[in-house]
Amino acid sequence: MKPRALHLCLAALAFLTLAAIFGPYFSPYSVDQISQTRLAPPDSAHWLGTDLHGRDLLTRLLFGARISLLVGLVGATISLFVGVTYGLISGYLGGRIDNAMMRFVDILYALPRIVLVIVLISLFDLKLKHLLDGTFLAPLASHARLLLLFVGLGMVEWLTLARIVRAQVLSIKERAFVLSARLIGQNTPTILFRQILPQVIPIVLTYLTLALPAVILEESFLSFLGLGVQAPLASWGTLLADGAALLNPIRTPWWLIVFPSLLLAFTLLLLNFLGDQLRKLQK
Amino acid sequence: MISFLIRRILSSIPVALAVIAICFLLVRLAPGSPFSSERALDPATQAMLETKYGLSGSLPTQLLRYASNLLHGDLGDSLKFRGRTVNEIIGQSLPRSLLLGSIAFTLALALGIPLGAWSAARQGKPSGAILNGLALLTLSIPTFILAPVTVLLFSFYIHLCPPAGWGSPSQLVLPALCLSLPFVGVCARLTRSGLLEVLGADFIRTARAKGVTEPNLVFLHALRPAILPLVAYAGPLAASILTGSLLIEETFAIPGIGQFFVSGVINRDVFLVSGVVLVYCLLLLFFNLMADWLTALLDPRISLSS
Amino acid sequence: MTLCRGIPGLLALLFSLLVFASCSSRPRADLIICNGAEPQSLDPAIISGQLEGRLTTALLEGLVRRDARARPVPGCAEKWTVYPDGRTYTFTLRPNLQWSNGDPLTAEDYRYSWLRALDPATGSPYSEILYFIVGAEDYHSGKVPASSVGIQVVDDRTLRVTLLNPTPFFPALTSFTTYLPVHRQTVEKYGDRWTRPENWVGNGPYRLLDWKINDRVSLEKNPLYHTPDRVALNRIDALAVNRASTAFNLYSGGQADVLLDKGLIPSLILPELRGRTDFHPGPLLATYFYRFQVTRPPFNDARIRRAFAIALDKEAITDKITRGNEPVATALCPRGMADYQPPEGHSSDPDTARGLLAQAGFPNGKDFPRVSLLYNKSELNEQLAIEIQAQWKRELGVTVELRNQEWATYLRSLDELDFDIARSSWVGDYDDPNTFLDCFVTGRGNNRTGWSDPTYDSLLSSALAEPNPARRLHLMQQAETILVTQALPIIPIYHFIGCLMFDPTKWAGLYPNLLDDHPFSEIKRAKN
């Protein structure tokens, strides 16, 4: 199609990222600033309204974008590198190795991830805090738990992608061009990354854009259980969850649900669009 | 074929055992006791309860004790729901989750595949973009928003279905819809992208040159190879959708098995968690096996015996 | 292709069969109650929660029972007498009492049940509540045999109980769940499984018809109950619902008739509900408070604890967050307990608070060490923590970090005193200040602050030994004064309210009360 569409999409994503990084600095409110204008609908002082504590929703959404985009990015990156490589190798080698590698995926997949995260946090939270305290990373120390959450999510996010890539590879490796590459004596890594990888890129891109919302929502669920983001910080997920808790048949502060939902939906739409465009470009 | 099945089933046994063992150890390693509550328990009672339920001694001894019970088909006692066995809890809740889950799974595929195929067939046209956008929309609404909004809409604004509860078919409609909707989007997206790949392939060009019309092309010729990624995804999807979801079960007051994956861990109800994880694991292994078998069926180039 | 076309039809058939097979329709119960989460058990010796208590008191009846306003009235005992020393009670059972299987119910059944709850092998979390009886604590710890416990069967209809101290509320206490009787043969035959509907034998106004996990407990009128005419409704279903929004939806949609717990009403809409006729709020014997860890700096300094306590504007908290008109707490015990007047604790005074903090070496919160506020993750706990954190920041200049944990981890942190400040709540078990004050005696499992004060301990123990009720309560009040005005190992924040929701034109026999006790047998249809 038109590269203009791609540029527009990239520009929007860049704007979102910049807004997440610098937006909170321009806001007259801070992310945890409590005021007496509680549950106020949108007006000129609070463009997107305020929550139960009188905190500005726009500021919190911008701030929440940092955590959510970061969680999404970490999840996607781990999925991409670990999942794709694992799937490629497993599918290509086949036979016993494939079977063993896939059973390992099954094991990790079957374990409830909240146990993983609870144990991870309880065993390493304080240790990581002390470790970071001594170094130049000290400001990160109070976010030790968030880092562990990233690790916990990363540990499980690549599994589905590995399965999907493997299934593709099983089919691709029997095709003529792979067979001929093997015949002319190309080594395995070359075949894997030069011949097969480009063939699975489209499905990987599609799946990544699907995985991103899943990771962002997974984070909100863990935060909801007390295993993720610590109040008074926020992520899109926790903002959405807080809004959802206020839904009832009598009176609902609609802005606390509509705006976070719209922002999330818009971001996902952009990412999916980007995936589509990139796939076209690759052809 | 037979040897493939036997091999896979044999290789599943160690997987299930490993999952159970790791799960048991993780829950026991997590801080806190299954018997504690806001009211403090005296240490003697605590110790007595641990002995009674086989949670005394070192972790390996506890695990071995549990494993030997498992061999007799005994999943142990729930520590939170005292006097109930895990076998009984799963026996009561699993069928309900299976019923709801199989409806939701069918819905996800029955809505998702045509939606994806259609939006691929109309690629480049406004209608294609709208269908694609629709699929994306279902994806980006989190369940914890979707479920309460659905209730408000269909139970309070239009009085169509009861807001929650279990027992009549009309009470299945909303939860099944909410359980399936996020996956409708995933299925549609995977079908669409698979189709777009295949539609560019040689044999499709040939068919198109022969004058096969576009809808026929999509639904009859291209769909079969195009849903391979979807099949790989559908294995784990089936296992997780059939075991329910905490959010759906709590919002719609459905007495299913899904909530135990979370509440069991929160309560450190180790036997209950291990039991439901075992069920999930077995379903997962079964559906992955089905997925691999279907993959081979759909794509003759893949051989199962390799 | 024909095969492919057949599949959807086949699937549809299969589903419809499954759907109809699974949905056996029983006629609607007379009354459907949202009771809270799934009951952990129905065994009176095992349970510790209110929602289980409501069900077991419908299924089993103690010597004394509670009426609709939670006043103690004769249950299976028709009368009782007390010796002048105030320590020995003689209960006389009604004649011809029966279990639901027709077996006669005698005084021995009560003795057996109470000893069972004390037996360490039963693992009762509430055995402490029987320690008022002579020898009970020693029997629980294995020091003396059962015969040394002061429970004596005089004849089939007479039970004599000897207490450690004069305990004026003892007869009322025998309505508490741990004091309920169980049927010995059934318990011994089925062990842990005796609470199943098919095994159940009880003596209460209702019997157990069905119990589906996470779905409902169905109760049916017990025809062998001693006064069946008192029981108005034939069948009651108690639904297991975890979420407030779901319970409220069920109620609004008419799938449930009564909401029995404030936890089942979304707090956001409490102000809107207050004007409705089906909303029934009332005070409750329960307190929300924060604990300090007093064994290490900075909160080993009583001045700092006091500064933190009086810096808070508790009215703002109940106004904006809990929203149910909850009474602000300055003492641990709520008002309204029989004849007891809790001491007047400190009211909000930010200026003095700043002065105290400066005295302790932290003017304007300068150089105050990093401390955290621990809570278990729930919507309400978090909202309160955010509000209180902001108030401390504003008034004292101290930044308290928020630290949330999931439930079991939080409990372990409490037990190991691994916190600086932690949220807590306490629900009174019986109508006497001891149910609250006993928590903070040195070494009690519920102390969870590390605080210890010999004067407090001795005031409480002499109060318990005091036969004169007025002097007894005065000693209790002195003890509580130390707790909430001088030592302050805790900050009382507010007292809970109980809320019921039911349509008063349809239902009667439900009243908000301090103990939040709403016996099912008292509920009847309203007369129009």
Q: In this predicted model, what pLDDT tens digit does every residue of B80-132 receive, in sequence order?
A: 999 899 999 999 999 999 999 999 999 999 999 999 988 888 877 888 888 88
Give, for A198, the enclosing helix (H) or strand (E). helix A197-224
Mean per-residue pLDDT, C496-506: 94
Name the residue with higher pLDDT: C219 or A209: C219
**pLDDT surpasses 50 at C274:** yes
Nearest-angstrom CA–CA distance, C211 and C58: 14
Give chains near B: 3+ CB pairs under 8 A: A, C
Q: Are C281 and C499 in contact (CB under 8 A)?
A: yes
Bridge-based pairing of strands C72-74 and C64-66 is antiparallel
Bridge-based pairing of strands C421-427 and C279-292 is antiparallel
The whole-chain average pLDDT of chain B stands at 88
SS3 C408: helix
**pLDDT tier at B206, thresholds 50, 70, 90:** confident
Q: Tell me the two tokens of residue A38.
A: 């509680």
Q: Does C137 touch chain B (CB under 8 A)?
A: no
Which residue from C245, C383, C406 is facing A227, i.e. has the nearest CB? C406
Determine which of B46-55, B227-236, C217-226, C471-480 has the lowest per-residue pLDDT on average.
B227-236
Residues of B in contact with A107 (CB under 8 A): 15, 18-19, 22
**pLDDT surpasses 60 at C7:** no
All domains of chain B, ordered by start, with CATH?
94-256+284-298 (1.10.3720.10)
Helix axes A197-224, A57-78, angle to 10 degrees: 140
SS3 C282: strand
- Domains of chain A, residue spans: 3-23+51-281
**pLDDT tier at B303, thresholds 50, 70, 90:** low
Contact check, Cβ <8 Å, B229/A203: yes
Provide long-range contacts, Cβ within 8 A and 24+ apart, for C440-447.
C440/C483, C440/C489, C440/C490, C444/B40, C445/B40, C445/B41, C445/B42, C446/B39, C446/B40
Mean per-residue pLDDT, B244-254: 91
Which residue from A53, A248, A250 is facing C387, i.e. has the nearest CB? A53
Which residue from B81, B251, B255 is facing C243, i.e. has the nearest CB? B251
Residue-wise DSSP of chain B? -HHHHHHHHHHHHHHHHHHHHHHHHHHHHSSS-TT--SSPPPHHHHHHHHHHTT--S-HHHHHHHHHHHHHTT---B-SSSTT-BHHHHHHHHHHHHHHHHHHHHHHHHHHHHHHHHHHHHTTTSHHHHHHHHHHHHHHHS-HHHHHHHHHIIIIIIS--S-SS-SSSTHHHHHHHHHHHHHHHHHHHHHHHHHHHHHHTSHHHHHHHHTT--HHHIIIIIIHHHHTHHHHHHHHHHHHHHHT--HHHHHHTT---STTHHHHHHHTT-HHHHHHHHHHHHHHHHHHHHHHHHHHHHH-TT--S--
For B43, the closest chain C residue by CA position comes to C445
What 8-state DSSP symbol labels residue C84? T
Mean per-residue pLDDT, C396-422: 92
Mean per-residue pLDDT, C233-241: 95
Contact check, Cβ <8 Å, B39/C446: yes
Output the pLDDT for position A48.
92
For A241, the closest chain B residue by CA position comes to B144
Q: Are A74 and A153 in contact (CB under 8 A)?
A: yes
Give, for A223, the enclosing helix (H) or strand (E). helix A197-224
Q: Tell me the two tokens of residue B247.
A: 């959010």
Contact check, Cβ <8 Å, A248/C248: yes
Name the residue with higher pLDDT: C425 or A216: C425
Residues for chain B: how many in total? 306
Mutate to test the interface with A, among B193, B231, B245, B249 (most CBs of A within 10 A): B193
Mark A153-165 as b/e (b = at least 16 C-beta within 10 Å).
bbbbbbbbbbbbb
Q: Does A145 touch chain B (CB under 8 A)?
A: no
Output the pLDDT for position C3.
40
Output the pLDDT for position C11.
59
CATH superfamily, domain at A3-23+51-281: MetI-like (1.10.3720.10)
Residues of B in contact with A279 (CB under 8 A): 193, 196
Handedness of CA B282, B283, B286, B292 (dihedral sign): negative
Residues for chain C: how many in total? 528
Q: Are C198 and C126 in contact (CB under 8 A)?
A: no
Instruction: Work out the minimum CA distance from C280 to partner chain B, whole angstroms.
Output: 23
Nearest-angstrom CA–CA distance, C300 and C292: 9
Q: Can you give the pTM of this predicted structure?
A: 0.90
Contact check, Cβ <8 Å, C253/B163: yes
**pLDDT surpasses 70 at C4:** no
Environment class of C416 (CB within 10 Å of its CB; exposed 0-12, middle 13-18, buried 19+) = exposed
Residue linked to tokens 């005992």: C77
Nearest-angstrom CA–CA distance, C260 and C512: 10
Mean per-residue pLDDT, C80-104: 95
Q: Does A203 touch chain B (CB under 8 A)?
A: yes
Q: Does C40 touch chain B (CB under 8 A)?
A: yes
Mean per-residue pLDDT, B168-185: 91
Helix axes A84-93, A95-110, angle to 10 degrees: 140
Nearest-angstrom CA–CA distance, C213 and B91: 10
Determine which of B211-225, C281-295, C465-479 has the lowest per-residue pLDDT on average.
B211-225
Mean per-residue pLDDT, B19-47: 89
**pLDDT tier at C2, thresholds 50, 70, 90:** very low
Low-confidence ranges of chain A (pLDDT < 50): 1
Contact check, Cβ <8 Å, B142/A94: no
Which residue from C266, C379, C386 is facing A232, i.e. has the nearest CB? C386
Whose CA is closest to B80, among C49, C209, C56, C36? C49
Output the pLDDT for position C17.
56
Determine which of B46-50, B175-179, C220-224 has the lowest per-residue pLDDT on average.
B46-50
Q: Tell me the two tokens of residue B10.
A: 């044999």
Give chains near C: 3+ CB pairs under 8 A: A, B
Whose CA is closest to C98, among C232, C204, C206, C235? C204
Q: Does A98 touch chain C (CB under 8 A)?
A: no
Mean per-residue pLDDT, C401-406: 88
Output the pLDDT for position C13.
61
Mean per-residue pLDDT, B32-36: 88
Alpha-carbon distances of B184 from A9, A30, A269, B169, C50, rounded to whole Å: 25, 39, 16, 22, 42
Output the pLDDT for position C212.
92
Residues for chain A: how many in total? 283
Contact check, Cβ <8 Å, B233/A163: yes
Residues of C in contact with A50 (CB under 8 A): none
Nearest-angstrom CA–CA distance, B197 and A204: 12
Contact check, Cβ <8 Å, A251/C269: yes
Share of chain B above pLDDT 90, in %: 42
Instruction: Work out the minimum CA distance from B14 to partner chain C, whole angstroms.
Output: 31
Cβ-Cβ pairs closer than 8 A, A with C, add up to 63
Q: Are A160 and A211 in contact (CB under 8 A)?
A: yes
Mark C323-349 as b/e (b = at least 16 C-beta within 10 Å).
bbebbbbbbbbbebbeebebbebbebb
Mean per-residue pLDDT, B215-244: 83
CA Rg value for chain A: 22
Output the pLDDT for position C381.
93
**pLDDT surpasses 50 at B287:** yes
Instruction: Work out the minimum CA distance from A29 to partner chain B, whole angstroms.
Output: 27
Alpha-carbon distances of C104 from C91, C98, C227, rounded to whole Å: 17, 5, 15
Contact check, Cβ <8 Å, A261/B141: yes
Instruction: Work out the minimum CA distance from C313 to partner chain B, whole angstroms.
Output: 26
Residue-wise DSSP of A242-279? HHHHT--SS---THHHHHHHHHHHHHHHHHHHHHHHHH
Q: Does A250 touch chain C (CB under 8 A)?
A: yes
Q: Are A205 and B229 in contact (CB under 8 A)?
A: no
Bridge partners (DSSP) of residue C160 are: C90, C152
